[in-house]
Amino acid sequence: MAERLLGKRIFLTGAAQGIGLAIAEACLAEGAKLFLVDRDGALLRQAVAGLGAPNGDVGYAAADISDGAVIAAAVSQAAAEIGPINALINNAGVNVFSTPLDTTEDEWNRNFDVNVKGAWNCSKAVLPGMIASGDGAILNIASTHSFTIIPHTFPYPVAKHALLGLTKSLALEYAGKGVRVNALAPGYVETQKAIDYWNSFPDPDAARAATLALHPGGRIASAREIALAAVFMISDECRFMNAACLVADGGLSMLQHAV
């Protein structure tokens, strides 16, 4: 077993599927202990069983990250099961796509409750322990929506821009306490969400091909590729990276016009 994350005790949200599950698999393979959180308890239990981890290496709780008290309790449970948390990966998120004047108050609130408030609730819960120990890493899974705008995806990019603000603010606030806070911004990733999106078109294959054609390399990321980037950012290999955002989009956000 590789040991790039040996000694890391990671609290990971949105862990039951997609990028979150891929991150769990990659971190476990690198020697980390994990505490996994997801709103979908049944799917989370299935994911944990599929990991086949040794006893004591993985704990989990079904929890809503928008509820600060619930998350504080989950972090306490995590400390009891795998030890004090010294790494947090805020992966849980929700797509809320509309146009500005069509966005309802419920959509606005849901967008910020999960994509920003949820990340803050988790950060707030783990930061005291990290500060006390003088060591900690927080990684926020952002998006290329954090610095680009696709029309008709409002208010999702507003929240993702805010998530980068949270990342930088916490990073500079606690750098002197031994805590580093960074973000990872994937572009298109071949997850079930992407597949469901393509399947919403009359010709799913054509929709998928159109997405791939947007990219300089003619393909999109696998969830594992994003997970391996997350492993690096949580590991001690990048201890001097702080208040940064690593972009993993195959060059898409640098392309001014599709060819």
Q: Compute the average pLDDT of residues 11-40.
A: 98
Distance (Å, whole) CA 168 – CA 181:
7
CA 123-129-131 angle, to 5 degrees, is 85
Extract the runs of DSSP E, i.e. beta strands, from 7-131.
9-13, 33-38, 58-62, 87-90, 97-98
Structural domains in the chain, sorted by start: 9-254 (3.40.50.720)
User: Quick check: 2 pLDDT over 70?
Assistant: no
Q: Compute the average pLDDT of residues 162-185.
A: 98
Distance (Å, whole) CA 17 – CA 43:
8
Length of the chain: 259
User: Quick check: 259 pLDDT over 70?
Assistant: no
Q: How many C-beta atoms surround the C-beta of residue 198 within 10 A?
A: 17
Q: Compute the average pLDDT of residues 179-201.
A: 95
CB distance 135 to 178 below 8 Å? yes
* Residue 256 pLDDT class (50, 70, 90 cuts): confident
Max Cα-Cα span within the chain: 55
Distance (Å, whole) CA 215 – CA 259:
9
CB distance 154 to 115 below 8 Å? no
Instruction: Report pLDDT for 55.
Output: 84
* Residue 79 pLDDT class (50, 70, 90 cuts): very high
Read off the tokens for 13. 């949200």
User: Quick check: 48 pLDDT over 90?
Assistant: yes
CB distance 124 to 68 below 8 Å? yes
User: Quick check: 198 pLDDT over 80?
Assistant: yes
Distance (Å, whole) CA 65 – CA 94:
12
Q: Is the peptide bond before 100 cis (omega within 30 degrees of 0)?
A: no
Distance (Å, whole) CA 245 – CA 138:
12
Instruction: Report pLDDT for 258.
Output: 61
Q: Compute the average pLDDT of residues 34-48.
A: 97
Q: Compute the average pLDDT of residues 160-182.
A: 98
Active site residues: 156
Using only C-alpha atoms, what is the Rg of the chain? Answer: 18
User: Quick check: 68 pLDDT over 90?
Assistant: yes
Beta bridge partners of 186: 248
The pairing of beta strand 136-141 with beta strand 179-186: parallel
Beta bridge partners of 38: 62
Q: pLDDT (tens digit, 9 = 90+) per residue, 127-152?
A: 999 999 999 999 999 999 999 999 99
Sign of CA dihedral 208, 214, 218, 224: negative
Q: Compute the average pLDDT of residues 148-171.
A: 97
